[in-house]
Amino acid sequence: MSPAAVFHPERLVAVLGRFKVSYVFAGSIAARLHGSPLITAVAEIIPALTPQNFEVLANALTHLAARRYAETAPEGVEFEISADSLAGASEWDLITSCGRLRVAFRVAGAGYAELAPNAVRFAIHGDEIAVASLADLVRLHEAPRADDDAAQAAALRALLARQQAVPR
Amino acid sequence: MATSSASLLRDARLRAGLSQRALAERAHTAQSVVARVEGGQVSPSWDTLERLLAATGFELDARLGSAGAVEAPAAAAAAPPGGSDIPRVLSLDPALRLQELRNADRFFSSVRRVS
């Protein structure tokens, strides 16, 4: 595999910011930012569902040389990247020049419109990123989609219980 | 049929991340055949539709139902999600595996909460 496929979240955020993609971080990065002890090298974003956002997302994914990820083809499989093709599926599991990236438009019935209002804001090198709230993350993990997700779901539930038990 | 052959094939092809040309190659047919089916210009036979869908990794799942409640053929959810990251990590040499941890560390060290 090319070294270019190594997980590099800083670069990923920079590219998504440069292409002005609107999204909320979910998955492992969001979980870690909320205090989960578990981290996997898979970023997950939930993009806004506007036509303009599909266009800029397609441009960003093209720039990132995105390919479809599969266990049997970890180097990825080429696919047609366009606003139309992206809109044709509810979720894409990709390998990019910045590593694994899951792009999900709806998870457990929630999309950008539901997650963005509750999102927590973080900043990195001048880019502001929206991260799904801890309560929303727990909800998103109610139906784990990969082996790694089950452990993360348990960690998130423990975090939320701790947060609710200890008033700040 | 609530779902046309055209939309069924297009949906399966896009979910498989294939171009019309790539699908045609897999199905040993011409790209123009795929285009005509997806464009609704021709109605493929059952066998042809089944063969084209198989090339996307999906299969035709048709069931009989009572009149007025006919279940349309649907592309079965046969396309696997990305799945485990283990094969990818195993494909990296140890130095690159450590590099990933350093990259993650740099990211989390640089992020600041603003709200």
CATH 3.60.9.10 fits B5-75, yes or no: no
- Which ipTM value was assigned to this complex? 0.84
Cα distances (angstroms) measured from residue B51 to each of A101, B23, B81, B93 = 31, 11, 22, 40
The pLDDT score that the predictor gives to residue B50 is 81
Chain B residue with the nearest C-alpha to that of A89 = B15
Q: Please state the rounded mean pLDDT for residues B6-14.
A: 75
pLDDT tens per residue across span A125-153: 989 999 999 999 999 887 666 666 777 88
Q: Please state the rounded mean pLDDT for residues A33-45.
A: 92
- Name which of B93, B106, B107, B112 to mutate to probe chain A: the one with the most chain A Cβ atoms within 10 A of its Cβ: B107
The pLDDT score that the predictor gives to residue A167 is 63
The answer to whether the beta carbons of residues B108 and A32 sit under 8 Å apart is yes
DSSP string computed for A119-154: PEEEEETTEEEEE--HHHHHHHTTS--SHHHHHHHH
pLDDT tens per residue across span A87-115: 999 899 999 999 999 999 998 889 999 99
Residues of A with Cβ-Cβ distance to B89 under 8 angstroms: 41
Buried b (16+ CB within 10 A) or exposed e, A64-98: bbbbbbbeeebebbebbbbbebbebbebbbbbbbb
Residues of A with Cβ-Cβ distance to B112 under 8 angstroms: 122-124
Collect all residues with Cβ–Cβ distance below 8 Å to B19 and sequence separation of at least 6. Answer: A79, A80
Domains, in order of start, for chain A = 3-165 (3.30.460.40)
How many helices (H) and strands (E) in chain A? 7, 8
Q: Rounded to whole angstroms, how far apart are CA atoms A35 and A156?
A: 8
Which residues are bridge partners to A96 per DSSP? A99
Check A88 against B10: CB less than 8 A apart. Answer: yes
